[in-house]
């Protein structure tokens, strides 16, 4: 074989490999999800929403299989009744030709039965979806049990939606739990193990999407908030002042998602304190310099032991819960919408020391996530600083504003030893200037 032939084969293989890699990147597969139908939805429409085939949808959901079986019977019945109506029409036309006094020409009399569709809030399990649909799923940790009626009334949703999201039976009234004390001293760890009906450790509360889209204009230190959304009541979060929690839509979604992930991951998670976000309409909110356009939020830290839920508590080495706070921060960073997180240097040192100890758990995460995020929005990871450290250690140092990292994700701000300050990018845009919190 000539050199040109070998070169042509290698070039073709390279093109096929590149196209296959690009296709694999585009065809992302997300974890299974429970889709709650609206009235009038068909399996074909649901499959198109998630980018899957109807066959694949039917494999993972019994509701789709039952609906397809009923529609199959209706389709076969329509065929039989239509064939019978055609025979009757044929006989009627034959008699009509024989008759001397002819009336109107007989017509086909047949009305097909309509195919059945899903009703309101039917649980459809979608396996390996290829399209991501963002929802507001809050997590209610079960410790003493909860009735479906109480959950629906407390969070302003219907009982059928609570049963659908959590795949409960239609006649389920509540989810009861029993607890068992775990042996030994467990400071900062769960003291009890709960076993609930049906194996449920938590209930998912799917909150409705906002009717109007909030619009953030201007900078955080001199902007406005049009049609701001008042932060809804969610499990695991208590607002200090409800009238000062108007925010943009994606700020509400990000906080609900992060708090829900912490409640799902850790048992006996205490309630978190939510501070000021913005007032109605935005504008100056004293004593803050920012908090004017709904893209800044003050969130308290998780603490070990009993703490007050009506105010922020100063984080110290004794009462600071590093595990839950880092899980909250990491979930916020994974969204890719965080511009800055402001913390005091004292709290950053405690959190950074905890992250550096979790080499296997968080080291790979830093390498996989922070470098990509830093290259895209925050500048490349510096190799000059911390030359003796490993790659994942440099990423951890890059996240915190220690050792001279001026463009870090987590930065120091005075007065943030009892809460953290989260600032998001405007939806689909980058912030032009930072400003003080």
Tell me, what's the pLDDT at 27?
56
Tell me, what's the pLDDT at 188?
62
What is the band of 160 on the pLDDT scale with cuts at 50, 70, 90? very high
Tell me, what's the pLDDT at 17?
47
Tell me, what's the pLDDT at 83?
94
For tokens 């959950």, the residue is 151
Tell me, what's the pLDDT at 435?
47
pTM for this predicted structure: 0.79
Domain boundaries, the chain: 30-101+109-132, 134-209
**Residue 130 half-sphere exposure, CB side, CA atoms within 13 Å?**
12
CA–CA separation, 125 and 167 (whole Å): 9
Q: Find the length of the chain.
A: 437
Render pLDDT for 346-404 as a digit per residue (tens, 0 to 9).
898 898 888 878 776 666 666 666 554 544 444 444 444 444 445 556 666 666 765 55
- Max mean pLDDT among 169-183, 383-397, 401-415 falls in 169-183
CB count in 10 Å sphere of residue 102: 9
Mean of pLDDT over the chain: 81
CA–CA separation, 308 and 300 (whole Å): 11
For tokens 């009735």, the residue is 147
Contacts of 404 (CB under 8 A, 6+ apart): 385
DSSP secondary structure code for residue 340 in this structure: E
For residues 174-180, give the mean pLDDT: 80
Render pLDDT for 6-38 as a digit per residue (tens, 0 to 9).
555 545 554 454 444 444 344 578 888 999 999
Render pLDDT for 226-265 as a digit per residue (tens, 0 to 9).
888 899 999 989 998 888 899 999 999 999 999 999 999 8
């Amino acid at each position: 074989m000539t050199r040109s032939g070998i070169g042509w084969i290698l070039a073709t293989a390279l093109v096929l490999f590149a196209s296959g890699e690009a296709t694999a990147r585009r065809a992302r597969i997300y974890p299974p999800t429970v889709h709650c139908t609206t009235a009038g939805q068909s399996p074909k429409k649901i499959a198109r929403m998630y980018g899957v085939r109807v066959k694949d949808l039917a494999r993972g959901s019994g509701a789709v299989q039952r609906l397809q079986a009923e529609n199959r019977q209706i389709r076969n019945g329509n065929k039989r009744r239509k064939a019978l109506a055609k025979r009757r029409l044929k006989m009627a036309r034959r008699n009509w030709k024989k008759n001397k006094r002819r009336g109107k020409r007989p017509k086909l009399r047949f009305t097909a039965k309509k195919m059945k569709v899903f009703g309101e809030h039917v649980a459809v399990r979608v396996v390996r979806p290829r399209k991501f649909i963002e929802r507001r799923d809050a997590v209610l940790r079960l410790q003493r049990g909860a009735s479906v009626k109480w959950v629906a009334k407390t969070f302003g949703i219907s009982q059928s939606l609570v049963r659908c999201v959590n795949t409960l039976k239609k006649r389920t009234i509540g989810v009861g739990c029993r607890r068992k004390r775990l042996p030994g001293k467990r400071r900062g760890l769960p003291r009890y193990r709960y076993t609930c009906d049906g194996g449920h450790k938590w209930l998912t509360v799917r909150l409705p999407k906002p009717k109007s889209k909030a619009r953030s204009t201007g900078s955080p230190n001199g902007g406005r908030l049009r049609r701001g959304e008042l932060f809804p009541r969610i499990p695991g979060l208590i607002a200090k002042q409800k009238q000062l929690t108007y925010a943009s839509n994606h700020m509400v979604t990000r906080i609900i998602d992060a708090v829900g992930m912490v409640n799902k991951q850790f048992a006996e998670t205490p309630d978190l304190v939510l501070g000021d976000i913005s007032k109605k309409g935005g504008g100056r909110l004293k004593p803050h310099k920012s908090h004017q356009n709904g893209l800044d939020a003050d969130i308290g830290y998780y603490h070990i032991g009993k703490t007050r839920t009506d105010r922020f508590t100063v984080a110290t080495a004794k009462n600071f819960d590093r595990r839950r706070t880092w899980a909250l921060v990491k979930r916020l960073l994974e969204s890719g919408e965080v511009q800055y997180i402001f913390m005091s240097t004292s709290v950053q040192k405690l959190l950074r020391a905890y992250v550096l100890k979790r080499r296997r758990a968080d080291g790979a995460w830093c390498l996989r996530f922070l470098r990509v995020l830093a290259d895209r929005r925050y500048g490349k990871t510096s190799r000059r600083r911390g030359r003796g450290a490993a790659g994942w250690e440099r990423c951890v140092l890059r996240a915190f504003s220690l050792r001279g990292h001026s463009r870090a994700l987590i930065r120091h701000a005075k007065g943030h030893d009892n809460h953290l300050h989260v600032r998001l990018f405007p939806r689909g845009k980058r912030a032009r200037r930072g400003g003080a919190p």
